Amino acid sequence: MTHGQDYAVETLAVHAGIGKNEFRAAVPPIYQVSTFGFDSAQQGAALFAGERKGYIYSRMGNPTVEALERAVATLEGGHVALACGSGMAAIHTTLAALVKQGDHIVCSEAVYGPTATLVRSIMADFGIESSLVDTSDTEAVRRAMRPNTKVVYVETPCNPTLVITDLTAVAALAHEHGALLVVDNTFMSPILQRPFEFGADIVIHSLTKFLNGHADVVGGIIVLKDEQFYPQMRRALNHFGGVLSPIESFLVHRGIKTLALRMRRHCEVAQKIAAYLSVHPEVEWVRYPGLKNHPQYELSCRQSSGGGAVISFGLRGGLEAGRSMMNAVKLWMLAVSLGGVESLIQHPASMTHASMGAEIREQAHITDGLVRLSVGIEDPDDLIADLEQALEAAALGSRGQRKAVDTAVI
């Protein structure tokens, strides 16, 4: 099944990308092979020249990898996809294929830390300019556009602040200036959000996260709306070499079969936890797209079909209270990443977003007190009970600190 616009996304998650194979296997076989032979010298020459379809070398194409690529392209409603060795490989390949020395990128200011580092530092070394702005403010995006802007790169919801970008408005603005809109859809997955429907040109995922869902694969994928940019993307990926292996492709494809079920469960559990945190006396603020107090709740409802699995919040006791809480959790794993069936907790300013630097973090409102949750699929009452005892520990620690300060003053 390559195209499936007539099917619900839940059906596509099970069937997309499988197609027919020699033995009518229910899942695509693992072609764990580096090299494919030719029937003749003429066939080999024709394959290299692009005159015939077939396989040469797994860096350039592999049946198992292509099955995954077809699946994700179908789920996103795109034309074709390119699987990469990591999410960062997908981002780097995309930008490197689209921009050159003297070009300009507009990027969400609150993005995954290494993405900001890639755009601001590494690509700058090659003469590529960038502006990091609040892409949830369409006028800020407009002001950032330049005659040499080639790409507007957006995460929505942004990581880890969970601000939301109006994709329809920003897509129109990008196209008005002759630029492409690239959307990192990792947080929502195609189950909850399909950026092509709102004008995006390219969609990126970290396969490591929700699409795989089981914390046992590192990968990324680029999905193209149409065929226009495929040749240059494929050329870039082939020559950079950051491709995904067959075994990891197989594992992600297997994970996608339960993607719809997992995403609905993630949303259900996250909604309960966000509601719990929003009324807890030790919690100063909560940001979750599924809460009606989210500043862009209505936009979230128009653009996606659920709040997702990521919650950000801050404690009244600040950074030290957050550290105490993270050190006290038992069920939640203190770890970076997100999108797995297990629940994770982490501190972006000192972990995933440390490489951005304090100035850019402050600009993006990634405060030192911000704590990020990736909500898994466990029982919400168990997760809440663990947070409750950890928040109690944080509160005791904060009160102890205040008492020590008062005693010192006396």
Express each pLDDT in 126-183 by its tens digit. Answer: 999 999 999 999 999 999 999 999 999 999 999 899 999 999 999 999 999 999 999 9
Q: Total domain count for the chain?
A: 2
| Contact predicate 379/351, CB 8 Å | no
In a domain, 13, yes or no: yes
Classify 34 as helix, strand or coil. Answer: coil
| 172 domain residue, yes or no | yes
> Residue 268 CA to chain centroid, in angstroms?
20
| Amino acid 364: pLDDT | 66
Marked catalytic residue, from 112, 153, 276, 288 = 112
Residues 228, 320: one domain?
no
pTM comes to 0.92
Q: Which of 184, 194, 287, 361 is labelled catalytic? A: 184
Q: What residue type is 180 in one-letter code?
A: L
Judge if 279 and 151 occupy the same domain. no
CA of residue 338 relative to chain centroid, distance: 9
Span 242-255, mean pLDDT? 98
For residue 38, the tally of other CB atoms under 10 A from its CB is 15
Summary count for the chain: helices (H), strands (E): 15, 12
400 pLDDT band, cuts 50/70/90, is low
Q: In Å, how far from its chain's centre is CA 255? A: 16
List, for residues 280-293, the tens digit of each pLDDT value. 999 999 999 999 99
Domain final position from 256, 291, 321:
256
Residue 152 within any structural domain of the chain: yes
Range of the structural domain that residue 355 is part of: 260-409
Co-location of 82 and 162 in the same domain: yes
Residue 3 lies in a domain: no
Asked whether residue 224 is domain-assigned, the answer is yes
What pLDDT band is residue 398 in, cutting at 50, 70 and 90? low
Residues 238 and 264 in one domain: no
Which residue in this structure is represented by tokens 């929003």?
278
Residue 1 lies in a domain: no
Reported as a single tens digit per residue, the pLDDT across 306-336 is: 999 999 999 988 888 888 999 999 999 999 9
The residue annotated as part of the active site, out of 194, 209, 225, 234, is 209
Q: Which pLDDT value is given to residue 5?
A: 60
Residue after which a domain boundary falls, among 211, 233, 256: 256
Considering the domain architecture, whether residues 174 and 199 belong to the same structural domain is answered as yes
| Residue 230 sits in the same domain as residue 331 | no
Q: Are residues 99 and 196 in the same domain?
A: yes
Stretch 332-350: mean pLDDT, rounded? 92
Task: Tell me: pLDDT of 406 over 60.
Answer: no
Domain CATH code at residue 198: 3.40.640.10
Q: Same domain, yes or no, for 252 and 265?
A: no
User: Which listed residue (7, 55, 59, 254) is catalytic?
Assistant: 59
Q: Are residues 282 and 240 in the same domain?
A: no
Asked if 112 is an active-site residue, the reply is: yes
Q: Judge whether 4 lies within some domain.
A: no
Average pLDDT over residues 335-358: 86
CA distances from 82 to 48, 121, 156, 204, 346 (A): 19, 25, 21, 10, 30
Q: How much is the pLDDT for 401?
A: 56
- 226 — pLDDT class (breaks 50, 70, 90): very high
Q: What is the mean predicted confidence (pLDDT) over 254-282?
A: 97
Cα separation, 263 vs 257, in Å, equals 11
Q: Is 184 a catalytic residue?
A: yes
Q: Are residues 234 and 86 in the same domain?
A: yes
